[in-house]
Amino acid sequence: MTVLVPSIMFSWIPLVLILFLVTTPRRAVIIAFIGAWLFLPMYGYKLPGLPDYTKVSATIYGAMLGVILFDAGRLMTFRPSLFDIPMLVWCLCPFVSAPLNGYELYDGMSLSVEQVIAWGLPYFIGRLYFSDLEGLRELAIGIFIGGLIYMPLCLYEIRMSPQLHAKVYGFFPHDFGQTKRWGGWRPSVFMQHGLMVGMWMAGATLMGIWLWFSGIIKRIWGVPVGLFVAGLFITTVMCKSTGAVVLLLGGVMLLFGSYLFKTKWLVLIAVLIPPLYLGARIQGWNAEEIISASALIHEKRAFSVRYRVEAEIDLVERAMERPFFGWAGWGRNMILSRKGEDLFAADSMWIIVLGRQGLVGLTCLGITMILPGYFLTKRIPVRLWADPVHGSAVAIVTLVIIYTYDNLFNAMINPVFILAMGGAMGLGIQRVIHPVSRGAIDQPVYGSMSDGLPLSSTPMKHS
């Protein structure tokens, strides 16, 4: 480990506070989240009596402290809604599940605090700053720019192998053997896994495509934005994450299909599929059709999907021994061998949530993730989805939808996407959508690359 790890980790919060001094609070939040997610090391420090100080918590602490110190008035403007209750219950679930499994109240409180930091606070900050069209526009542009910044780093690792984290921070945060894909390298840059990078680049590309199509951004530094979007798309494919590419294509088809055919039903169907899938899986469906479809892409992909599906069948049975609030934490949701080792890996977010927080936690988290898509069909007419006023909000909601699908097969917490979820929920809660000013649309978008960014991550190592 190099000296840069403690240096950047413990200087990050002061840097975020400086951001609040030199730019608007909303833009400071975007830069803080994206900057941390893209560049902080995958490392954590244990703190006595407190959650570990990690890439994720550094991001949240800095942003929240900045809000409290420099924009406290914003907190007074927050109006909670009944639709925020599922996120609140999701964050408090460990406080109930831990005592039900024989742990102390302190243990449950500790797990709840961790859940608040990873999910609740990014969602809350998203509700504070991105619950309007202008806020979602800035966030969408920030994610797009974050993808452009990561593009040359991804291309470097695609050519040279994933080395940047080790070169800069002195260690590689995951199994290096998993970086070899399709006869080449899958980049991980400064994230925990190549799957995280693939999903990030897919989200940035989705933003770029719709920002370009809706005319929100036409040129960057005098260059037609379509060239940047094409570069992002090619880089995303070269990241060699099949799921991310499939979700990107699905998101693009959802946007263009809905807009061209002027129908909201594609989005409604899209948000209904995840709960139907989860219900079927919990009831014992073996997902053989999905395994067969993945075999059309690649035989190894089908093998991976089959392993996950079969493991989830046994993990569902284990979870249903504590169906309502789950087994809490500390691995009790897992199935152990005689040697005390996990027999199966829990790779999907939904199976982890079901095992730890039960049906209550899974339902609350699921409601929070699918409501923005439903609200989109109610609040913004489809004919307006590709205009410069509403286009970025539509893109953000679509990002939340594909992130929901990603969590059906992976467990990659991304605070930037959770931030977007909070903003999309806040916009949906409004009964009347107020458009941004015409001047905000007509002015040049980002003369420099420093105008917006977001970020976060999950640690692998501890000191």
| pLDDT digit string, tens, across residues 250-282 | 999 999 999 999 999 999 999 999 999 999 999
* Mean pLDDT value of segment 6-14: 93
| pLDDT digit string, tens, across residues 355-371 | 999 999 999 999 999 99
pLDDT band at 434; cut points 50, 70, 90: low
pLDDT band at 138; cut points 50, 70, 90: very high
The yes-or-no verdict on residue 437 having pLDDT over 80 is: no
pLDDT band at 115; cut points 50, 70, 90: very high
| pLDDT digit string, tens, across residues 208-224 | 999 999 999 999 888 99
pLDDT band at 171; cut points 50, 70, 90: confident
- Residue 257 or residue 344, greater confidence: 257
For residue 451, what pLDDT is reported?
A: 33
* Mean pLDDT value of segment 66-86: 94
**Which residues does 44 contact at the CB level (< 8 Å), separation at least 6?**
52, 53, 54, 55, 459, 461, 462, 463
> What integer best gives the mean pLDDT of the chain?
88
Q: What percentage of the chain reaches a pLDDT higher than 70?
A: 89
The yes-or-no verdict on residue 445 having pLDDT over 60 is: no
The yes-or-no verdict on residue 456 having pLDDT over 80 is: no
The yes-or-no verdict on residue 459 having pLDDT over 50 is: no
For residue 2, what pLDDT is reported?
A: 87
- Residue 412 or residue 175, greater confidence: 412
Least confident of 385-389, 394-398, 422-426, 452-456: 452-456
Which of 85-94, 278-287, 344-353 tops mean pLDDT?
85-94
**Length of the chain in terms of residues written:** 463
